[in-house]
Amino acid sequence: MRKPIIAGNWKMHKTIAEALELVNSLKGSTRPEVEGVVCVPFTALSEVKKAIAGSDLKLGAQNMHWEENGAFTGEISPLMLSEIGVDYVVLGHSERREYFAESDETVNKKMVSALSHGLTPIMCVGESLEEREAGAEKKKVEAQVKAGLKGLSSSDIEKIVIAYEPIWAIGTGKTATSEQANEIISFIRNVVRDIAGEVADSVRIQYGGSVKSSNVAEIMGQSDIDGALVGGASLDSEEFAKLINYGE
Ligand code: PEP
């Protein structure tokens, strides 16, 4: 059984004070059968970690470097994240690929490094509008999944989370239909099966792209969708509480 995982990607939003206000009002609204994760800015990680102690909420970062330390001005290492007690790290988000030259190769280095430091990666993949219109969405996500998982053992692959996020649906208000999302997610599971065998059935695969309380239940009702990676709608505690409590 794959435990559903609803993760909020706050992006570059929320000061420490704002982050604490959000998690303090959210932490009483979780439920044990759904994993709720807040992926907060680096500056808020330590304080949020303390604030959610004893609750069901888990903590995520939004990026990391693959090295433990070194001359990489402005970067944050996996050691620094694990010291804080971070559980998850988002890797290869389309905004990082587009604005910060993240490539399949750097995503792969980060995947290997995160797993070796006990961090669970949420690896993002997804096609652009042009690729979707050219019918190339499967080719794109297959290449991203294969490159991102290169060199990983089946037992490592079993631990990861993959987020399918069509770029044209992120922050645009346009959601892939739940059938479209399920089709690609089940295709991704088959790509993982080709690489790692039956552990593919344990890998949780989320959908991301304009998920909100009004569409989450339908999305989560699909057979292969195990969760959601949520941007805009995760910035409001009431809305995010509704997302975690979908279907209730
Ligand atoms: C995201 O940031 O990963 C995302 C899916 O954003 P939004 O929910 O705002 O589309």
CATH number of 101's domain: 3.20.20.70
- Contacts of range 149-156, beta carbons closer than 8 Å, 24 or more positions apart: 149/108, 149/111, 149/123, 149/192, 149/195, 149/196, 150/108, 151/108, 151/112, 152/111, 152/112, 152/115, 152/196, 154/196, 154/197, 154/199, 155/199, 156/115
- Max Cα–Cα distance, the chain, nearest Å: 49
Annotation-wise, does 168 bind a ligand? no
Number of domains in the chain: 1
- Which element (helix H / strand E) includes 40? none
pLDDT in tens, 222-239: 999 999 999 999 999 999
Ligand 1 center from residue 167 Cα (angstroms): 9
* Domain encompassing residue 24: 5-244
Percent pLDDT > 90 in the chain is 95
Determine which residue's CA is closest to atom 8 belonging to ligand 1: 231
CB of 227 sitting under 6 A from ligand 1: no
Residue 84: its pLDDT value, please? 98
ipTM of the complex model: 0.97
pTM here is 0.97
pLDDT in tens, 163-198: 999 999 988 888 889 999 999 999 999 999 999 999
How distant is the alpha carbon of residue 104 from its chain centre? 16
Annotation-wise, does 10 bind a ligand? yes
Q: Quick one: average pLDDT of 81-108?
A: 98
Q: Quick one: average pLDDT of 46-51?
A: 98
Q: Quick one: average pLDDT of 108-123?
A: 98
Per-residue pLDDT band at 11 (split at 50, 70, 90): very high
